[in-house]
RNA sequence: GGCGGCGUAGCCGAGUGGUUCAGGCAAGGGUCUGCAAAACCCUGGACGCGGGUUCGAUUCCCGCCGCCGCCUCCA
């Protein structure tokens, strides 16, 4: 296998190489759980889930770690606002996060570390940084990372310290107590009433960046293979992760991969700007598979629109899959024994190996859908069976489940209505037949008259 | 201001120095059908603007215009 990925640090496509042959260790930055997940969380999760599925399908043993940040200023603020404890807030929104990801058929991480479960490891890492001179304390505030002490700072996001210093303070007030405006907090001392953990520097809580360094190193070890995150975390979050780990003497991620943002009307969607759509809303309105297809129809690094027109279009594409599945079911094709078209599988693999080119991979699958339909039209069932099996297999690799899970048979009331309509049609009483069809249509049941008889399914 | 990215047909979105260059959605016309739905066939239309390199550029280079991201919390 020769997967190439666009490595953010290298700024080009590179061969994905592994610390341990045949195994790949992945860390992906997860959400801070202070509010409901939005469609941007959905996109990022689908992107990395698809990468994960592809790597597994390629025969690699994947260890996929993705964290939940369950202590942070925004959680504290939300708890205060709602009169809840921080852990209640975190728990509520973590549950909601995973509930939505479940609908998207996103696999749960192999390990989901929580910041509050890694305090000791973080304290240890900070202690190491203080001990070797990469961190300093400020009375009554906490412990800070000394960016100037780490010469490789900026290697991920390609910034140099001088430039950073120039622009520092341009957009945000600088905390004058810090030695340098670019220094960042490792340990925040608690104000009265805030949740806190004991540490050598006093009761407090970890800074945001330290948790990912500590958890990634703790769970995957030095020099793990792949670190992923949303594009907006490259700087400063991921950059700081590297600095913390590196300054403490650890080799950090070998490769970095970042997924693009979701936009609304060409503007980045974000909670802080208020232009966000919740994932629950999108998945209530559209088939979650349509969401997934819409996401994968765009290259993962590009910013993308993910609005009603995109979701509607993707929903139609999903219908195409389901129509094909119904067609296969109607002639009772046994997919478990059908062979896979190896040439298409190879093309699919080539597309995915090239930096997970899901748009190209989907194009291959859609082409197979068309040809499967053609084969059915020619009553070449054997060819059709191979193509349908191939579509199912490859779509499955992308996490797209083809064919409705719900049962579209066994509803005797609808079956009877269909029979009634057949009778009416036989009598050329089309007014009655059409009325029955319209009524069923209104409740989401679609009628299809075929040479082999009438079938129905739910929309 | 610094760094980076983008501008492709009605929409979304791949991609490539050159004969017919994805795919999805939508539109128009057919086939099938009592009519639909689905499916299949056909059709139209693209590469922001101006230069340059080249036998040939949407694809490379330069300039310009427009848009966006990061530099602050953010998936």
Q: How far is the CA of A389 from the C1' of B21 (A)?
A: 28
Between A449 and A357, the higher pLDDT residue:
A357
Residue A437 to residue A372: CA distance in whole angstroms: 28
Percent of chain A with pLDDT over 70: 96
pLDDT tens-digit profile of A52-79? 999 999 999 999 999 999 999 999 999 9
pLDDT tens-digit profile of A340-351? 999 999 999 999
C1'-nearest nucleotide to the CA of A174? B72
Whether the CB of A459 is less than 7 Å away from nucleic strand B comes out as no
Q: What is the ipTM of this complex?
A: 0.94
Whether the CB of A327 is less than 7 Å away from nucleic strand B comes out as yes
pLDDT tens-digit profile of A258-272? 999 999 888 899 877
Q: How far is the CA of A270 from the C1' of B8 (A)?
A: 28
| pLDDT confidence of residue A243 | 97
Model confidence at A408: pLDDT above 60:
no
| pLDDT confidence of residue A455 | 82
If you write DSSP's letter for every residue of A354-372 in order, what string do you get? BT--HHHHHHHHHHHHHHH
If you write DSSP's letter for every residue of A385-446 in order, what string do you get? HHHHHHHHHHHHHTTPPPS-SS--S--HHHHHHHHHHHHHHHTT-HHHHHHHHHHHHHTTEE
Chain B positions within 7 A of any protein Cβ atom are 1-6, 11-15, 22-26, 33-41, 67-75
Whether the CB of A151 is less than 7 Å away from nucleic strand B comes out as no
pLDDT band at A275 (very low <50, low <70, confident <90, very high): confident
| pLDDT confidence of residue A172 | 52
Whether the CB of A374 is less than 7 Å away from nucleic strand B comes out as yes
Whether the CB of A275 is less than 7 Å away from nucleic strand B comes out as no
Residue A17 to residue A21: CA distance in whole angstroms: 8
pLDDT tens-digit profile of A65-124? 999 999 999 999 999 999 999 999 999 999 999 999 999 999 999 999 999 999 999 999
Whether the CB of A370 is less than 7 Å away from nucleic strand B comes out as yes
Q: How far is the CA of A258 from the C1' of B56 (A)?
A: 38
Strand B, CB < 7 A, residues 52-111 of A: 69, 72, 74
| pLDDT confidence of residue A204 | 96
Q: How far is the CA of A97 from the C1' of B12 (A)?
A: 27
């Amino acid at each position: 296998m020769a997967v190439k990925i666009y490595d953010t640090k290298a700024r080009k496509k590179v061969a994905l190489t592994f610390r341990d042959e045949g195994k790949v260790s992945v860390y992906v930055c997860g959400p801070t759980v202070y509010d409901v997940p939005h469609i941007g969380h959905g996109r990022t999760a689908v992107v990395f889930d698809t990468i994960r599925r592809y790597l597994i399908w390629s025969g690699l043993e994947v260890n996929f770690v993705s964290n939940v940040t369950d202590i942070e200023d925004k959680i504290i603020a939300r708890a205060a606002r709602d009169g809840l404890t921080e852990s209640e807030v975190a728990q509520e929104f973590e549950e909601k996060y995973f509930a939505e990801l479940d609908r998207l058929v996103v696999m749960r991480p192999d390990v989901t570390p929580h910041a509050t479960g890694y305090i000791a490891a973080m304290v240890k890492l900070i202690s190491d940084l203080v001990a070797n001179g990469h961190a300093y304390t400020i009375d009554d505030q906490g412990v800070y990372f000394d960016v100037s002490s780490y010469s490789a700072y900026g290697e991920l996001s390609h910034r140099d310290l001088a430039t950073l210093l120039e622009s520092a303070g341009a957009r945000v007030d600088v905390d004058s107590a810090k030695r340098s405006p670019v220094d960042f907090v490792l340990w925040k001392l608690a104000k009265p009433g805030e949740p806190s953990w004991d540490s050598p520097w006093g009761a407090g809580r970890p800074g945001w960046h330290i948790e990912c360094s500590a958890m990634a190193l703790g769970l995957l070890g030095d020099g793990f293979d792949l670190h992923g995150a949303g594009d907006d975390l490259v700087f400063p979050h991921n950059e700081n992760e590297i600095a913390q780990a590196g300054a403490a003497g650890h080799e950090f991620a070998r490769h970095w991969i970042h997924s693009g943002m979701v936009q609304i009307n060409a503007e980045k969607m974000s909670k802080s700007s208020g232009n966000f759509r919740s994932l629950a809303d999108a998945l209530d309105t559209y088939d979650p598979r349509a969401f997934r297809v819409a996401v994968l129809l765009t290259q993962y690094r590009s910013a993308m629109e993910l609005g009603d027109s995109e979701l509607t279009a993707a929903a139609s594409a999903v219908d195409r899959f389901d129509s094909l599945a119904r067609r296969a079911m109607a002639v009772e094709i046994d997919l478990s024994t059908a062979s896979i078209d190896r040439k298409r599988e190879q093309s699919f693999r080539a597309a995915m190996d090239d930096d997970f080119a899901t748009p190209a991979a989907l194009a291959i699958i859609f082409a197979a859908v068309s040809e499967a339909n053609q084969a059915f039209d020619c009553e070449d069932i054997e060819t059709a069976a191979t193509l349908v099996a191939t579509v199912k297999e490859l779509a499955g690799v992308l996490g797209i489940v083809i064919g409705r899970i719900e049962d579209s048979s066994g509803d005797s009331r609808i079956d009877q209505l269909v029979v009634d309509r057949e009778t009416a049609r036989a009598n050329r009483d089309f007014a009655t037949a059409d009325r029955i069809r319209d009524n069923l249509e209104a409740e989401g049941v679609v009628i299809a008259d075929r040479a082999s008889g009438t079938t129905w399914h739910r929309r």
